[in-house]
Every structure is written in structure tokens, then in C-alpha cells.
Amino acid sequence: MLHILVILIILIHFCLCFKSLAYGCAFYIAIKMIIPTPTRVAGLSLYTFMLIILIFFAMVRHMRWRKSKKNVKAATFPFVYLIFPIAVLGVFGVVDYSFQYRSLIQFALTEVSPFFLIMIAIKNEDELRLCVKTLIISYLIIGVWGIVTYITHINLYVLLFANAFDYSGELYVGNGTEILRGVLSSSASGNQSEGAIPWGQISLIMLTFGLFYQKIDNKILKNSFIILAVLNCFLSTKRSVIVPMLLLLGCIFVNKGIFTRKNLIRGIAIVIVGIVLYINVPVVRDVYHSNIETALFFWDDDLAAEHDFKGSDKSMRVRQAIYVNHLISDHFFAGLGYGYPIVHNMKYHGATDAWYFESLYLDAIASSGYIGLLVWIFFFFLLINRTNIACRNKLDNYLLHGGYVLSVFLTNIYCSFAYYMIVTALFIKYKQLYIYSCYRPQCFIKEAESK
């Protein structure tokens, strides 16, 4: 039955791409957000198969985008400033070149090409609104399911697809056996077979989108979207998600003038109610100590140990950094080759101080050295620069990217980078279609007056 559903999805996708590349992108966003990750087509991920169809139509039927040098530069800069430099650095590594470039091509296809496709597909405001609405509605659907997975302690939806497609991924935790965090007896996982970390990061990306994208006119829809994202971030139980979320919300509260007299009275009332619950309800007290307090004071290993909060601690992070820097001592600048962490984990199965390279910092320097780390930092800087007037102010723009960047430097990218690239592309298209269109007439008037 599910195989028939997948065939139907592919047929619909093909027809929508034939009609419009923007419709195909919107449908891809919906499927990627809702359908579980174990879904396969002829051995390929369903998402990858859909991207191949989109790229085919982009190359064959949508040739006009090539004529605009500005459009080409905007759509392809992730390949120029991220993929290409990492590929060049791989020449100096020790990992087999064929393995390196297969891994890099897969990363470029699954994680970076969605940005490219959205940039060339969306040509007007209606198509942008279509993709934005699709993203919002899709997350609302799967976000509710994310909360259900926490309540039920099992992701039956992901299990159903995993069993149907005989998926046995190494990180598969849809059966609810993942390490639990404090007294929270489960983890929200949404549509992710890889578990709560990617789902938490995806929810963090959706939170920043809901907070900073300016063209969500329906307030009920926007507020529901934001609240659902906050709940899923928290119920992911991952400090690498909760800490950036708390910092993000704290900065917004301060910047938006939340601390008015009226809001302070409300805040005091909430604190009083919280104190009463803390004193009289043991479950509330346990939740605070084991999850909220350990997230707020995430650097305090003794506090985490006191409340039996298992996870990466400060000393583990230090050991990881020392170990990985020792690994690249003879390849300090260019690293050991793209995909080295995969090779290392296949050999040692996480039984070293590197563990599973649980930070983009560790992954980047192991693969591409400190030059590679600078490539990543410069790439994030370029993304921030390209959305600089798509947000209401500079702080919002920094927060849009900062929460996710902090999260991946704490816990690595996993399966969330494509969502970050999709959201960034939507902000850039908003900047091009809405903001630039407002500025152009004024520029033309000034040019005419000067003549």
C-alpha cells in the first residue's frame, strides 16, 4: 500500500514539475516535511528521487534562468563558496578520492540543491506565497505529530514506513529506545528516523522562520506555527536545540520591548504560579531540575550528573577537540579528506574520544582542516549577508541564522541542513521580489531626476 502511495507521489510530482518548477518545489517541500525519511524509490531516498526530477526539469525546460548572470550567481553561490572549496581541499586528504567525491556529491544534491532549485523556480510573488504556505501548513501537520510521538513514546508513523521499505539505518530510533533526557520520558521525533536531534534542529529552523519572515499575514496561523515549533524544540529534549532556542527567545523579548509595566505584572504572576507549582507538585519540580535547569546551565557537568541528565558534557567536548586536533596534526590546514568522520566511525564505531564528531567544528577540521572550517564560517557569513534586509533589522537577521549555526556547532548538521537552505532561499526570494520591487521605482525616479 505504501509503495503505491510513493508511486502516486512521484506521478503527481512529475505532473506538477511539468506544469511549473515552483509547483514542483512546493510539493517537494511538503513531502520532505511530512513523509518519513526511510521512504525509498529504487534504493534512493524519496527526497533524492524528487530532487533529481526537479533538476531534470530545471535543466531541460527552464533555460531562461541561465540568461540572467545575477540569477545564476545568486542560485549557485553555495556550490562556488562551499562545495567547490571543500572538493579542492579533499585533494590533500588521505581518504579515498572516489569515496570523498561520492559523499560530497550526495551532500550537494540532498542538502544544497534545494536552495538552487527554489532560487531559480520562484519568479513572482504568487509562487513565493505558494512555497511559504506549503512550508507552514506542512510543518503544522507534522509538528502536531511530533508532540504525539513524545506522548506515545514511540513513532509509529516512522516505524510503519521503515518496516514497509525495509529500512535499518544505523541511527534509527523510531522504536522509542533512544537515551532519555532527565525526567522527560520520551523525545519528539516528527518524521525523522534519525531521532530527536535532526527533528529539534528542523523545529528550530521553523521557529526562526515563523518569527522573522514578514509576509505571514494570518496571525492565528503564524502564532500556532511559532508555538508548535517551540514545543517541538523543547520536547526534542536536546540541549543543543533548547539552549539556542532560549537564547533566541531571550534576545527577542529584550529587543521587542517586552518588559513593559503590564508585561512585568503578567510575568510576576506567572513566576508566582510557577513557584507554587514547584513547591507543591513533584513532577513540575523534577521537570525543572532535570531539563530546564540543565539546559540553562548547560556548562555545569556536576548539575547534569546530580539530576542524572545523560549527554555530552563539557569534559567530553574538551576530549573530543583534543583528540580530533591530534588526528589532523599532520594535516592541519587541509584535513584528512571529506567524509573522514564516516570512515573513522565505520572503523571504530564511536569507540574513541572523537565519539561521533558531535560538532560541525570537529567534522569540518577532520574533513577539511582549519581552512575548511574557515570555508564554513565564510559561507555562513555570506548567507547572513544575503538576507540582510529581508528581516526587519540587523539583530533579527543575525538571530535568523545564529540559532541554527550555534546548534550545529554544538551537535553537527545531521539531516537538517536542507531545511536551513530552503528557509534561507525563501528569505532571499522575499528580499528580491518584495523589498527590491519597492526600492526600484524610487531608484528609477532618482536616476531620471539626475539626468
| Average confidence (pLDDT) over 139-153 | 91
Comparing 21-30, 63-72, 102-111, which segment has the lowest mean pLDDT? 63-72
Per-residue pLDDT, 446: 45
Amino acid at 201: Q
Q: Are 161 and 2 in contact (CB under 8 A)?
A: yes
Cα angle 205-259-200, degrees, rounded to a multiple of 5: 20
- Name the H helices within 236-288: 239-255, 261-280, 282-287
- Of 184-188, 241-245, 260-264, 300-304, the range with the highest mean pLDDT is 241-245
Which residues fall within 8 angstroms of residue 404, CB to CB, at 6 or more apart?
201, 204, 205, 208, 244, 416, 420
Comparing 334 with 413, which gets the higher pLDDT? 334
| Average confidence (pLDDT) over 362-385 | 96
Q: Are 166 and 150 in contact (CB under 8 A)?
A: no
Amino acid at 333: F
| Rounded distance between C-alpha atoms, residue 68 and residue 221, angstroms | 36
287-333 pLDDT per residue, tens: 665 555 555 555 455 555 555 555 566 677 788 899 999 999 999 99
| Rounded distance between C-alpha atoms, residue 356 and residue 366, angstroms | 12
Confidence of residue 183 (pLDDT cuts 50, 70, 90): very low
Per-residue pLDDT, 447: 41
Amino acid at 355: W
